[in-house]
Amino acid sequence: MRSYGSSSFGKPIKMKFILPLLTAGLFVLSSAAQPVARTKHLFIITIDGFRWQEVFTGADPLLIGNSDYVRDTGLSKQLYWDSSAEARRQKLLPFFWGTIARQGRLYGNRLLGNKVNVRNFYKISYPGYNEIFTGHTDAISSPNLAIPNKNVNVLEYLNNTAEYHGKVAVFTSWNVFPFILNGQRSGLPVNSGYEPLCEQGDSAAGLIDSVMTTMRPSKTRHDQLTYLSAREYITQHHPSVLFLGFGETDEHAHQGRYDLYLQQAADIDRMIADLWYMVQTDPYYKDSTTFLITTDHGRGWKPNKWCTHGFWAQGSGDIWMAVLGPDIQPEGELRMHAQVYQKQIAATIARLLGDPAGPGHPPGKPIAVPAVAPLAGLPLRSATAPTGAPAAPATGVALAVQSR
């Protein structure tokens, strides 16, 4: 554990000040031996191919009025338009900008110089999720095909620890996740595509399953059904680590339907708000659950390229990340110039849970997520400045969240 602080330069420090400083330093170091974090549970949520542009500036002025992409431009504008970007993003994503912005952190507003980027060459889904969950950016022979991933993922690492064994669950809309997460090797319970819950004696699960049997076969399940399945599983089994992968934003974008892409994003924001309300009103999860929300890739930034993504479409590597939880120092959208990468997210996930599989598993340097002050009566974290010391800047680069 390291404690970073600003030092004084130029003037020699008088000896009489050194002893108190050393004492303070020792106190912080000894406290760091017993760090305390409140996060016991982590929900990782992904919104497939959802651009940073919409996260930080709401509906795109060059797209929302374009009848090639929006069926009813007047109605879409009524729902999501405002001349101010702040008002637009609030209209589109009220949970992001009402709750996460107040209580959490949002990385990736490139207009402020804060950047999150994909590191893999492809900038499409399989390599993106591989990067998020394994920390690897290796060449993939047939990207996006249902081929078992050779890389070990962070959920697998967690599931192999005593603390989280049997407490990890995955619910995704896209049906390639059993291969990306190599469910056969990892043994993770991965519910993807139109896969039923099959919960004995659970009438709600039975209802969700019966609705799914009526759906037209597709590689991507309706996000609402994925969400309802996950929600029912959470109610019944209380997993500690959950990955919830939404997929329809990417589907609507590929179809060139900017109106439906916005509708879906707003719906996902509402589902995440519902999930947050659910955990914060359940004593098992309340004030001990962190959400990490991100995307697998960006999309083209040019008005005629927003539907697509890949190494050929400029902007596809530009992404974002949001965190919200009891240990997270609230900062809203980060305003400092910084660059982090998707391949750091796997290690960040492990770090938020206190690196239970040991440092370096999975590989990568965690993204710095500054922590709030410790609970009253509990030992100080090493990230907390000693009393009387200048407050450390809440920049997202100076301090790291502490292990539990």
- The minimum distance between CB 254 and Zn ion, in angstroms, equals 6
Residue sitting closest to Zn ion (CB): 250
What is the footprint of Zn ion within residues 59-88 (CB under 5 A)?
none
Pick the closer one to Zn ion by CB: 317 or 396. 317
Nearer to Zn ion, 55 or 352 (CB): 55
> In whole angstroms, how close is the CB of 146 to Zn ion at the nearest point?
15
Q: Judge whether 276 and 293 are in contact, CB under 8 Å.
A: no
Q: What is the largest CA-CA distance in the chain?
A: 78
Q: List binders of Zn ion among 357-386 (CB under 5 A).
A: none
Q: What is d(CA 80, CA 93) in angstroms, rounded to the nearest whole number?
A: 10
Range 102-131, binding Zn ion (CB under 5 A): none
- Of the pair 313, 347, the CB lying nearest Zn ion is at 313
Q: 13: which residues sit within 8 A by CB, 6+ positions away?
A: 21
Sole window of 150-158, 211-219, 226-234, 246-254 interacting with Zn ion (rule: CB under 5 A): 246-254
- Which parts of 38-57 interact with Zn ion (CB under 5 A)? 49
Sheet holding 190-192, edge to edge: 190-192, 168-172, 241-246, 41-47, 289-294, 321-324, 104-107, 332-333
Do 104 and 273 form a contact (C-beta atoms < 8 A)? no
Strands (E), 165-206: 168-172, 190-192
Give CA–CA dist 126/48, Å, rounded.
11
Least distance in angstroms from the C-beta of 118 to Zn ion: 13
Q: Nearest approach, Cβ of 10 to Zn ion (angstroms)?
A: 55
Give the nearer residue to Zn ion in terms of CB position, either 49 or 364: 49
**Smallest separation (angstroms) from Zn ion to the CB of 268:** 16
* Window contacting Zn ion (CB under 5 A); options: 150-158, 187-195, 245-253, 363-371: 245-253
Q: Is 248 in the site for Zn ion (CB under 5 A)?
A: no
Q: What is the DSSP letter of 385?
A: P
Looking at beta carbons only, is 177 or 276 nearer to Zn ion? 177
Smallest separation (angstroms) from Zn ion to the CB of 73: 24
Tokens 């950016």 correspond to what residue?
137
**Does residue 259 touch Zn ion according to CB under 5 A?**
no
Q: Is 250 in the site for Zn ion (CB under 5 A)?
A: yes
The count of residues interacting with Zn ion (CB under 5 A) is 2
Spell out the SS3 assignment of 249-303: HHHHHHCCCHHHHHHHHHHHHHHHHHHHHHHHCCCCCCCCEEEEEECCCCCCCCC
Q: Are 372 and 327 in contact (CB under 8 A)?
A: yes
Instruction: State the minimum distance, in angstroms, from the CB of residue 307 to Zn ion.
Output: 9
List Cβ<8 Å contacts ≥24 apart for 195-202. 195/221, 197/229, 197/232, 197/233, 199/232, 199/233, 199/236, 202/232, 202/236
Cβ at position 319, least distance to Zn ion in Å: 13
Residues of this chain that bind Zn ion (CB under 5 A)? 49, 250
